[in-house]
Chains A and B, each alone.
Chain A
Amino acid sequence: MQQEVTLKDHFFETRLFMSRIIALLLFAGVLLLVLLGRLWYLQVIEHDHFTTLSEDNRVKLQPIPPNRGLIYDRNGILMAENLPSYRLEITPEQVDDMGATLSALEDIIGISEVDRTRFEKLLKSKPRFEAIPLRFHLNDREVAQFSVNRHNFPGVEITAGLARHYPHGKVAAHVLGYVSRIDEQALQSVDTSNYRGTTHVGKIGLEKSYESLLHGTVGYQQVETTAQGRILRVLKRAPPVSGRNLYLTLDLHLQAAAEQAFGDRSGSAVAINPNNGDILAAVSLPAYDPNVFVNGIDYADYAALKDNKQEPLFNRTLRGQYPPGSTIKPFMGLAGLEQGITGAHSSTYCPGFYSLPGNTRKYRDWKRTGHGTVNLHSAIVQSCDVYFYDLAESLGIDRIHDYLSHFGFGKPTGVDIQGELSGLLPSKEWKRRRRNQPWFPGETIITGIGQGFFLVTPLQLAVATATLAKNGLVIKPRLVHAEQEANRDELLPHQPELVETITVNNQDNWDAVIKAMIDVVHSARGTARKIGADSPYRIAGKTGTAQVFGLDEDEEYDADTLANKLRDHALFIAFAPADDPQIAVAVIVEHGGGGGSIAAPIARAIMDAYLQKTSP
């Protein structure tokens, strides 16, 4: 080193520069190694990881919603279908002057304020290459008018989708229910992965109860997209599986006839095939048009439906709970006979009222003058109350409860549609538990004629009638008898389900009760003799009149002065033909008045529509 210091500056500086260059090259070499190490790590060691991430970026799974299954009646008449629905869409990037386009479109097909607001909101939030819907559900005229002018509207398209449609409108509306736009609440109750891409979900009725069958399975397509989400091509496709078609037990013609028979009265009727539990008709009136719910009902219309005093949205068949009134008498009679409390020929004197021993309270018969001496047969035929007050007193509430519960009273029937209420079959235990009160003897008395706490749904009443008709066979009622995979011909039947078989102690008891019910319709003193006179087949029936409110001992019931709201419900149960039951019917006409005069003709119309069509 010392030697070098003495050398010329030039040489020293060259040495210095060279050493510095070497230092810098070493430094550069280190940097280069770090960089290459990093690239080796990214591209070789972590290659698989980043490949996965890159695929995740590129490939998106796009759901393809399945087509919803169709609903047919028992004869194959379409009740719920998917119709093409046209909507107008605008792709913003293809439109030069959005304002001019919108106003020109407004002249041709009209754009509501709601549509415009929604469109403008979407316009801001969606990428410009994505088509934004401006109008939904264009009618044929609007489609035609736009099509003629289409060349003036680059970037504006009409696209077809499918929308649920109920071709028969209000008919069987409560049975079918409806679908409507899926919302947060609905999303929580379904498997969200299967509902990606689905816009509508069953909200009520069969549409809701059979949602899982009707909906089907979502399909997917793997698409390659850009970072903005523009689809470039489809890589793979797993087609959706359409929902299954349902074949109802309902007979649409019968249903329509039944609804027509009600006129403009409100109420409910259920017709069941007692042999297999098929619900042939289920009327709940007034009804509503389910089509308005499919694409969102506007607030005013919904409020009108909701606030309507007649409650058109209320499914009376399943959720209407009415006192059974005198329609319970055949069942009470059977309870007395089968448990040996009374005999078919033991008689009671009816002075027009009934009192408990040692009590002055009078329980009145509907006939103030009394029926005189009656036995079970004449008590059913003439609907004598006093006989059944006495019978109820003899049976006691617990025996009444235990026997009647076999017929399905007080519990859900298990029908294949959601929302059913269980009615109320009172008992001492029930009263203690729910009301924390002891049972009073007087409450047993009025239970005997289907009043008091006793409540039934129209469906329960129909099922009990069918059970009576079939000698104690309790069959679960059902609305769907078969399903069908999409694009397949064969039907996959649902088997009828036997709930229980009520023990028959003595067949004569059942025959006696049914004989009495036949005479209700077909004898000179029967309360429903009006419908029996010209009937080509024999009907077993029982009328009922259910009090909406209780009258005091001395009050007179005067239908004319009572507000409609407080008038009695008219009831009628029946099955026919009496010797080979094919149809069992329960009819409740709200505030209809007399069971024999109002409800029985409706039941007759239903049975006519069914029996005269099927038995030529």
Chain B
Amino acid sequence: MSMNISPHREDASLRGWQYRLHLDAPLLIILICVSALGLMVLYSAGGGDISLVKRQIIRLGLAYTGMFIVAQFHPRLLQRLTPWLFVAGVLFLLAVLLGGEVSGGAQRWLNLYVVRFQPSEMMKLAVPMMVAWYLAEARLPPNRWQMLGSATVIAVPMLMIAKQPDLGTALLIGSAGFFALFLAGLQWRLLGFLTLLAAAMAPLLWHFMHDYQRQRVITFLSPENDPLGTGYHIIQSKIAIGSGGLFGKGWLNGTQSQLDFLPERSTDFIFAVLGEEFGFLGILLLFALYIIIVVRGVMIAIQAQDTYTRLLAGSLSMTFFIYVVINTGMVTGLLPVVGLPLPMISYGGTSIVTLMASFGILMSIQTHRKLLAT
């Protein structure tokens, strides 16, 4: 709190180049550390395939560039663009539902002839931005109507994405919106009521789920019932992590990973490769890096000077954490398999760009503050 009362003291310690380049050094350094660790694990997960690592490096390069570009935008500009971004995102989602490309059984992709892209990725940013924008000028905590408005802003894209179906992303977008709303002061009583309502709605949700989603839930509850079918992923992943022990089997020495027993090991289940080869200690290291990222993001939120940036930074940081929790929870068998990558580590394109863009927003918020506030 003292930081808010006299921000100039803190700001004075910032080096000049961070402000000029609009980069946040602590965040950047940790991100690079995680990326490096990720490339190492990916090299092993890909069975020593250096070309896989090269492709990922190119993606990371693109993602970091994206982050750098986003960081140059002033938060005011982001705030002004927010409603347009959101409306465009919803329209894209609509387009996907009406005529998107089917890939892997789900309709997620929109072919724009130049690039194929997933509007749902865009919504990961657009939804918390929209909630923050919507509540930016409001007197907090928001009143009943503002709550309802925010809920709509969250629910519409969330349901559209769940329909694709992409439960993992829908969940992430829901939590991003929820965090913004919660940070804005969502009443505890209302929160309790919503929780109860959600519990009551669970059977209804079951009714609307796709067969494969139901299967995932059943598998989650008892993977051993179908060890070679739907339960195979989770059983093999638990074996990989469990057999890693405290210190791991060593880099490139994970038998589960290297001998193809672990499915999806360079993408969604890469956490199990880390667990197998680097053990509990390796996981602690990764978690420590993640925690530093989250804490740094929360610090940026705390130092932010207006409601929009504060809510947005807080929401993006916490969503990143939830991202980690959902992936690791699913790989360790605590959560059903929803198909989310491990942030910064998993091989894959679109999500890393979005993720780095969110760090770009955090950096923008951090480095565009007025030096002498209040």
Contact = CB atoms under 8 A, between A and B. Distances in A.
Give the contact-size bracket for chain A.
35 or more
Nearest to A228: B260
Given A35-B329, A43-B246, A16 B275 contact: no
B262 to A, nearest CB: 8
Nearest to A232: B259
B287 interface: yes
Interface in B289-308: 291, 294, 298, 301-302, 307
Interface stretch (B24-32, B50-58, B177-185, B357-365): B177-185
Given A24-B182, A51-B242, A17 B314 contact: yes
Q: Which of A17, A31, A36 has the most CB of B within 10 A?
A: A17
B349 interface: no
B259 A20 contact: no
Interface stretch (A219-227, A320-328, A506-514, A590-598): A219-227
Interface stretch (B76-84, B159-167, B233-241): B233-241
B134 interface: no
B318 A28 contact: yes
A291 B332 CA distance: 59
A43 B140 CA distance: 45
Contacts of A46: 242
Contacts of A23: 182
Interface in A3-56: 9, 12-14, 16-18, 20-21, 23-25, 28, 31-32, 34-36, 38-40, 42-44, 46-47, 49-51, 53-55
Nearest to B245: A47
A24 B188 CA distance: 13
Contacts of A226: 259-261
Interface residues of B, number: 47
Interface in B238-294: 238-246, 255-256, 259-261, 275, 279-280, 283-284, 287, 291, 294
A17 B291 contact: no
Interface in B324-371: 325, 328-329, 332-334
Given A9-B139, A24-B318, A58-B255, A35 B245 contact: no
A57 interface: yes
B259 A57 contact: yes
Contacts of B260: 226-228
B338 to A, nearest CB: 16
A420 B184 CA distance: 96
B332 A42 contact: yes
A39 B328 CA distance: 10
Contact of A32 (B139, B291, B307, B332): B291
Contacts of B256: 54, 57-58
B255 A44 contact: no
A230 to B, nearest CB: 9
Contact of A21 (B183, B246, B259): B183
Contacts of A21: 183, 298, 301-302, 314
B342 to A, nearest CB: 13
B185 to A, nearest CB: 5
Contacts of B332: 35, 38-39, 42
A14 B279 CA distance: 41
Nearest to B304: A17
A31 B238 CA distance: 19
A336 B296 CA distance: 118
B179 A24 contact: yes
B214 to A, nearest CB: 24
B1 interface: yes
B4 interface: yes
Given A51-B242, A224-B259, A20 B182 contact: yes
A611 to B, nearest CB: 69
Interface in A219-255: 224-228, 232
Contacts of A17: 183, 185, 301-302, 310, 314
A164 to B, nearest CB: 37
B141 interface: yes
B238 A50 contact: yes
A9 B138 CA distance: 11
Contact of B240 (A20, A24, A54): A54
B321 interface: yes
Given A50-B238, A50-B239, A227-B259, A39 B283 contact: yes
Interface string B215-249: 00000000000000000000010111111111000
Contacts of B321: 28, 31
Contacts of A42: 238, 241-242, 275, 332
Contacts of B183: 17, 20-21, 24
Contacts of A54: 239-240, 242-243, 255-256, 261
Interface in B173-216: 179, 182-185
B239 A38 contact: no
B334 A34 contact: yes
A486 B58 CA distance: 63
Interface of A: 9, 12-14, 16-18, 20-21, 23-25, 28, 31-32, 34-36, 38-40, 42-44, 46-47, 49-51, 53-55, 57-58, 224-228, 232
26 contacts: A9-B139, A9-B140, A13-B307, A14-B4, A20-B184, A24-B182, A28-B318, A32-B325, A35-B325, A38-B332, A42-B332, A44-B245, A44-B280, A47-B246, A50-B238, A50-B239, A50-B241, A53-B239, A54-B239, A55-B255, A57-B236, A58-B256, A58-B259, A224-B255, A225-B259, A228-B260
Given A34-B334, A44-B280, A58-B255, 9 more contacts: A13-B307, A18-B302, A24-B314, A28-B321, A39-B283, A42-B332, A43-B244, A50-B243, A227-B261
> Closest 7 A-B residue pairs measured CB to CB?
A50-B242, A54-B243, A227-B260, A42-B242, A58-B255, A50-B243, A43-B280
